[in-house]
Amino acid sequence: MIQNILSIVVALGLLITFHEFGHFFVARRCGVKVLRFSVGFGKPIYRYVGKTGTEYTLAMIPLGGYVRMLDEREGNVPPELKNQTFNVKSVWQRIAIVAAGPIANFILAVAIYALVAVLGIQTVAPKVGGIAANSPVAQTQLQSGDELVMVAGEDVASWEDVNLVLAGLIGKTGTIIVRYQPEGSSALQEDTVSLDRWLVGEEPNNLIQAFGLAPWQPQVAPVIAQVVDGGAAATAGFLAGDTILAIEDQSINQWRQVVSVVQANPNNALFVDVLRAGNRVELVLSPKSAEQNGQTIGYAGLAVVPPQWDESLIRERRYGPIESLSYGMAQTSKMISLTVSSIGKMLQGLISVDNLSGPITIAKVASASADSGLQSFLTFMAYLSVSLGVLNLLPIPMLDGGHLLFFGIEAARRKPVSEKIQNMAYRLGASVLFALMAVAIFNDIARL
């Protein structure tokens, strides 16, 4: 819980601060007086007043922020300060101020991706471990041990690349090309895959799995590394270093066999043969029960000795300063395109609203990415920054995009939209945003 909270505070805190700083920076350059720069909502826990009179605050709820500018529409303004109000600036200056927030998020994403590139990008090659029957990829001659090279016209060098390409294929109808390198061959092979409204209306937990692919993994020998105190295995007398030979007289040579049998037998006694110091020892294991995805499964409280990965599958790419900036721009552009495409597909009904996520899911993903290392956490922050920028540009009143819509109309008509219409639109926009937030939070809770 503490890690979840700290992860989301760090991630959202930085992204929101950068977003609001974009508004603040351009507003000051356009001669607008900024009254308050706030990170977070609610009661301030820190307050500082700068030399220019701007109040900088850090509030208790780190799920947003705002820049409050001097504006005649919000109260009386002294005559000597009227030239510093937001509302008297030209429409193009107001457009620049409002657009600066999302643009700042895109700039931050480029910088983060570039930093990741400089530090070195370590990935696992997309070597196939298995093909699911009756899946899209089962239409090809792809086999276990082959390595993916291209999917749907996009080069792929890691499973992360594959996942991003597949995300863009949701709702697609038509054929795509899958290029791969068969195991033991230097030649490349191509096959086609036919898709028909792929995953429309579904909420896939794993796009790679939904496509019919299982990533290659090394064989995990059933050698015990740790026995959890107080667990079923500890009660049964298991020791670190034991090698599981058989369960209920069925030979065991892979750890996944142990997991499968244990999960299928909650509260049932299992006779287990282990090899200990060269001797065969029989133990009786009664797995405890636990709920997982609505089902009761067994668990023993054992940890396995981690396998050794084939180092040839671990790929690391490092970039120089210029190359890293180019990589950052390319990745940001790709993420913007994917996010816009996903929103469009959701409006068309091709992607279910069940895929909407709120702060709980963001916190969990932030925590998980932090667990996976600095590269994973930075990559997540970059994508979150892109999402924040794109979502704020949606033409919904209350968001930056809604303001830009009104200013665009004003620039075209050479006069502003009436206050009455704007107020009605803002109330409608607030209702839409609250509804979307309610759906996202409901989805978060349902996933728990």
pLDDT digits (tens, 9 = 90+) for 377-388: 888 899 989 999
Q: What pLDDT does residue 192 have?
A: 93
The number of residues making up the chain comes to 448
User: Which residues are known catalytic residues?
Assistant: 20
| Domains of the chain and any CATH numbers | 124-217+313-317 (2.30.42.10), 224-304 (2.30.42.10)
DSSP character at residue 74: G
| 150-154, 210-214, 398-402, 433-437: least confident range | 433-437
pTM: 0.77
Confidence check: pLDDT of 372 > 70: no
| 25-29, 34-38, 135-139, 308-312: least confident range | 308-312
Residue 429: pLDDT band with limits 50, 70, 90: confident
Reported as a single tens digit per residue, the pLDDT across 169-204 is 988 999 999 999 999 888 999 999 999 989 887 777
Query: In this structure, how many other beta carbons lie within 10 angstroms of the beta carbon of residue 446?
Result: 9
Residue 94: pLDDT band with limits 50, 70, 90: very high
Confidence check: pLDDT of 120 > 80: yes
Q: What pLDDT does residue 276 have?
A: 94
H or E element that contains 261: helix 255-263
Q: What pLDDT does residue 248 have?
A: 93
Asked if 70 and 52 count as a contact pair (C-beta separation under 8 A), the reply is no
Which sign, positive or negative, has the C-alpha torsion 356, 358, 363, 366?
positive
Q: Please identify which residue in the block is written with the tokens 């925590």.
A: 367
Query: In this structure, how many other beta carbons lie within 10 angstroms of the beta carbon of residue 176?
Result: 20
